[in-house]
Structure 1
C-alpha cells in the first residue's frame, strides 16, 4: 500500500494517478511510474531518500 508523503494517509487509485483523503494528488507519468516526491523537494540539493530512510527499509 502506498501512503501520501505529505500526510501519511493511504493513497487510492484515481483517474491518471493516486489521491489521498486530504486530496493530495500524484499523477502517473507517461512511462507508468508515480513520482511521490513533493513539488517543493524536486529541485532541492538533497532530493529523494536520505541514508536513514534507506536503512529503515
Structure 2
C-alpha cells in the first residue's frame, strides 16, 4: 500500500471487517455491521476534514 493511499486503506479495512463479521455466519448481522461502518465513515463529512476526503466509495 502506498503511503497516504486512503482509498486502498478504506477498502482493506472494509474487507477485513466484512470477513470478521461474516465469521458469525449471520447475514443480517454482517449487513448491519457493514452498514454501521459506512455510516461511521460518513460521520463528520461536512467538517473541514470531511470535505477533504475522497468522494469515491471504496468497495
TM-score by length of 2: 0.25
- Higher RCO, Cα 8 Å, sep 6+: 2
TM-score normalised by structure 1 residue count: 0.26
Structure holding more helix per residue: 2
